[in-house]
Chain A
Amino acid sequence: MARQLTYLKAVGEALEQEMRRDPRVLVFGEDNIGGTGCEGRLGNAWGPTQGLHEKFPDQVLDTPITEAAFVGAAVGAAATGLRPVTDLLFIDFAGVCFDQILNQAAKLRYMVGGKASVPLVLRAMWGTGLRRGAQHSQALHSVFTHIPGLKVVAPASAADAKGLMIAAIRDDDPVVFFEHKMLYFVPGEVPEEPYEIPLGQARVVRPGDDCTVVAVGRMVQYALTAAEELANSGLSCEVIDPRTLSPLDEDTILGSVERTGHLVVVDESNPRCGFAADIAALAADRVFGSLRGPVRTVTAPHAPPPFSPVLENAYTPSVEQIVSAVRSTRREPALASDSAAHR
């Protein structure tokens, strides 16, 4: 059997292989080493950087809780010859350093007429599932996708996490790298050697003929489960994981919609001006003639993520919602078994 690795370890392996290949790759963030300045054991890193400081003592750094400073420093370092990979822990903390992302990282290359580039990767956990409440559970990828100058990556599998991380590090633009916290401990087959998955290339996770289902991050697995269920009643779904939200592989998505005539987009982020609405609009704009039913989106509601498990479960898009969205775009009546109605 091919080697299995968790998503978290796959990210770590990508960091390790890239640091080895290129001494300009620098990794830093809070507790990326862990235990710095303490009496006890060094190396209490929490996340994919665990153990890396021992192999690359000059390339892994700890930071104080100074996101504005260290993300900004990553921009400056990237523009002057390094390839920093910085860690925000939770994407929600982009709030305290948004200027450095929005006005510095994203704008520099354009503003200086192409005289500099900003090859940095900003890693962050995202999404619901850990019961962390409104300030640790958001799905903010739509916000960053909206901003020209940033690339946005959101892998859904361990193998993609590794290949996309390597591509992100080698890319010359700033990349915001969304690691879904509920996928961290999901294992998958991951090749041992370094490899790149090009940014801007979607993956057809499951081929099908009757409806295109585009899903992001943790929702890819949900969409697959829904597709499985729908297959039992004779509906064949094509599940597409865009993998990178910016740049977006429009051709794979639109080509699929042209074939199936139906589209459902599943995304954890909020609905207004969100990724799902964007893909729906793209289809309406570009392949309207191929559509044979309404486009449906399945998203979190227009509310912050709640803490209580019952509320958080209701907040997060569900397999049932995906199933009934597919049925409704096909204008088929929902079955009694499709318990939760589409919100």
Chain B
Amino acid sequence: MTSPPSTKSSHEPSIAEVYRVLRTIREFEERVHEEFPKGEIPGAVHLYAGQEAVAAGVCAQLRPDDYIASTHRGHGHAIAKGCDITAMMLELYGKAGGLCGGKGGSMHIADFDRGMLGANGVAAGGVPLALGAALSAKVRGSGQVAVAFVGDGGVNQGAFAESLTLAAVWRLPVVFVVEDNGYAQATGTAFHLGGMDVAARATAQGIPARVVDGYDVFAVRAAAADAVRRARDGHGPALLECRAQRFFGHMEGWDQQAYRGAGEVDRIRAEHDCIQLFLDRVTAEQQLDAAQIAAIDASVRQDVERAVAAARSAPDPDVDSLLTDVYVNY
């Protein structure tokens, strides 16, 4: 159970901790997928299952006080950044005690105490926010870094293009993490990216960029280590383009995924399950044994079970909260 100490900074999680994050995201998402049809989870829920290695690998390189700005598909980012899964589940159910008091829901989940600046209902809406957090870190001289997660569809927004420009010009400590899962709703990247790497857009602006196997948490982690170190050392932005497809439809409850090829999802689950790939490697390298894995699995299952039970029985928000938080004061 050793990894080379030279690459490990003080806050870098152990292999067991990385596994715990991967498993927690998967369990959380599979469970939400199971609970959603029961009708107690309101609104729009976009699941991250299949893409866990990206959030887990990137966030493994972040300090607790670093920032992330997320997307509508934000549960994985929130979990990897250390958000409490019970408070997250309460938020998904729209309950009092949820991370945002029931005002945000899945699509707006946020936890500023963990540097999680929020999921976002607007494609690429969070990208400039990450720039701002990076600017704030730079001005304060705090050594913090900000990560902007954005989907392959979101990168076609003006806000993303403008953010590349501004981040480069201001040399901001920001890392763009493009999550190419092959689709924007039912539109394929073959159409909307035209077969071009997003990384090329960044390099054209002088921002170092890499295409990364998003199913391989070790590859993501190594690429993130470089990008985050660069940013922290004052050398400006970098971009990682991570490729990993989602298991579920765009959104729970209404997407039959008929736009995906026959057997595509089964094949991805069988051959490109980032958790299975991770386990194959760490067990072969004897970094984790079966008992450790089973213990983590059991404890994660319990955590998620507890979160769902708590969310289902929690009270609704007080209706008076409708008019709070509009302004700091009125």
A→B interface (CB under 8 Å):
30-31, 34-42, 44-46, 62, 64-69, 92-93, 95-96, 130-136, 301-304, 306-311, 314-315
Contact = CB atoms under 8 A, between A and B. Distances in A.
Given A68-B158, A133-B105, A134-B108, A38 B319 contact: no
A309 B96 CA distance: 12
B185 interface: yes
Interface in B168-200: 183-193
19 contacts: A30-B185, A30-B187, A34-B187, A35-B258, A35-B259, A37-B190, A38-B191, A40-B259, A64-B156, A65-B123, A68-B157, A68-B158, A69-B158, A132-B105, A135-B122, A136-B44, A307-B42, A310-B316, A311-B319
A302 B321 contact: no
B121 A132 contact: yes
B214 interface: no
Interface string B241-280: 0000000000000100111111010000000000000000
A102 to B, nearest CB: 15
Contact of A132 (B98, B107, B153, B186): B107
B316 A44 contact: no
Interface string B66-106: 00000000000000000000000000001100101011110
A324 B43 CA distance: 30
A304 B186 contact: no
B323 interface: yes
A36 B192 CA distance: 9
Nearest to B98: A308
Given A37-B187, A44-B259, A134-B108, A66 B157 contact: yes
Given A38-B191, A135-B121, A307-B94, 10 more contacts: A37-B187, A38-B183, A38-B259, A46-B185, A64-B187, A65-B154, A308-B98, A308-B102, A308-B103, A310-B316
A69 B156 CA distance: 10
A39 B153 contact: no
B317 A311 contact: yes
B326 interface: yes
A308 B184 contact: no
Interface in B196-218: none
Nearest to B156: A64
Nearest to A37: B191
A66 B49 CA distance: 26
A188 to B, nearest CB: 23
Contacts of A302: 323, 326
Given A37-B187, A37-B188, A306 B102 contact: yes
The 3 closest A-B pairs by CB, nearest first: A37-B191, A37-B188, A39-B261
B259 A34 contact: yes
B321 A37 contact: no
B282 interface: no
A311 B325 CA distance: 13
A192 B44 CA distance: 34
Interface in B130-181: 153-154, 156-159
Contacts of B154: 65
B184 A65 contact: yes
Nearest to B91: A307
A306 to B, nearest CB: 5
Interface size class of B (residues with CB under 8 A): 35 or more
Contact of A131 (B94, B185, B316, B326): B94
A136 B45 CA distance: 13
Interface of B: 42-44, 94-95, 98, 100, 102-105, 107-108, 120-125, 153-154, 156-159, 183-193, 254, 257-262, 264, 316-317, 319, 321-323, 326
A298 B114 CA distance: 40
A301 B323 contact: yes
Nearest to B43: A131
B78 to A, nearest CB: 15
A308 B125 CA distance: 22
B9 to A, nearest CB: 36
A41 B103 CA distance: 37
A280 to B, nearest CB: 22
B71 to A, nearest CB: 12
Given A39-B261, A68-B158, A96 B122 contact: yes
A132 B42 CA distance: 8
Contact of A135 (B95, B120, B317): B120
Nearest to A311: B322
**Highest count of chain B CB atoms <10 Å: which of A35, A95, A133, A314:** A133
B122 A95 contact: yes
A19 to B, nearest CB: 21
A64 B190 CA distance: 11
Contact of B186 (A35, A131, A301, A309): A35
B269 to A, nearest CB: 16
Residue with the highest number of chain B CB atoms closer than 10 Å, among A92, A96, A302, A307: A307
A311 B185 CA distance: 28
Contact of A136 (B107, B192, B193, B322): B107
Scoring B183, B254, B319 by chain A CB atoms within 10 A of each residue's CB, the highest score goes to B319
A236 to B, nearest CB: 32
B165 to A, nearest CB: 15
A308 B259 contact: no
Contacts of A310: 94, 102, 316-317, 319
Contacts of B107: 132-133, 135-136, 307
